[in-house]
């Protein structure tokens, strides 16, 4: 289920399809009674397949970052604040960072007795880390209002991505 949504999204794109966001990507209806001016709705999706070949379990996975325009919004449709867009862009970058981390863990996974469960646990761990980082990012930057903290987070995410 998507926050503030009654149904699954009809529209989405991957980070590979569009890494740079623009305000035209934010077509959702703002959530009432929230203190911030815009919101990115993004997440990680993965596929999993296992098969036994010559007695050996072969696991195949994919992972993608997804952006959901229908559930991403900005409070003022005439808003064109580049600093606010940069803040929302970094949320998108954080999702992609965790997708890369997930792909790396999938790549190094050695099939155990229950690969489906194992892969699910790997995903849940990365997803938990992603959600925690997203919340910390908003808290520490005051939803982008603290410019120094925003700059620090931009450098931090770039550095983390470089290290993977």
Q: Which helix (H) or strand (E) holds 109?
A: none
User: Is the distance from CB of 71 to CB of 3 less than 8 angstroms?
Assistant: yes
Can you spell out the DSSP letters for 59-103? Answer: EEEEEEEEE-GGG-EESSTT---HHHHHHHHHHHHHHHHHHHHHH
Among residues 117, 107, 122, 124, which one has the least CA distance to residue 164? 107
Mean pLDDT of the chain: 93
Q: How far apart are CA 94 and CA 100, in angstroms?
A: 10
Q: How far apart are CA 156 and CA 150, in angstroms?
A: 10
**What pTM value is reported for the model?**
0.92
The residue extents of the domains of the chain are: 13-163
Query: Nearest 5°: phi and psi at 107?
Result: -65, -35
pLDDT digits (tens, 9 = 90+) for 95-117: 999 999 999 999 999 999 999 99
Q: What share of the chain is helix, strand, coil (3-state, %, to 5)?
A: 45, 20, 35
pLDDT digits (tens, 9 = 90+) for 15-56: 999 999 999 999 999 988 888 899 999 999 999 999 999 989
């Amino acid at each position: 289920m998507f926050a503030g949504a009654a149904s699954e999204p009809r529209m989405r794109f991957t980070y590979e399809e569009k890494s740079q966001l623009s305000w035209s990507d934010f077509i959702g209806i703002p959530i009432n009674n929230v203190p911030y001016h815009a919101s990115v709705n993004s997440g990680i999706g993965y596929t999993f397949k296992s098969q036994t070949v010559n007695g050996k379990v072969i696991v195949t996975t994919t992972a993608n970052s997804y952006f959901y325009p229908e559930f991403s919004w900005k409070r003022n449709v005439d808003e064109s604040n580049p600093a606010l867009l940069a803040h929302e862009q970094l949320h998108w970058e954080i999702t992609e960072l965790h997708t890369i981390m997930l792909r790396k863990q999938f790549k190094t996974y050695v099939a155990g007795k229950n690969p489906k469960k194992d892969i699910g646990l790997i995903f849940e761990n990365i997803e938990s880390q992603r959600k925690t980082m997203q919340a910390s990012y908003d808290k520490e930057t005051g939803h982008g209002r603290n410019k120094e903290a925003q700059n620090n987070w931009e450098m931090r995410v770039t550095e983390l991505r470089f290290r993977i």
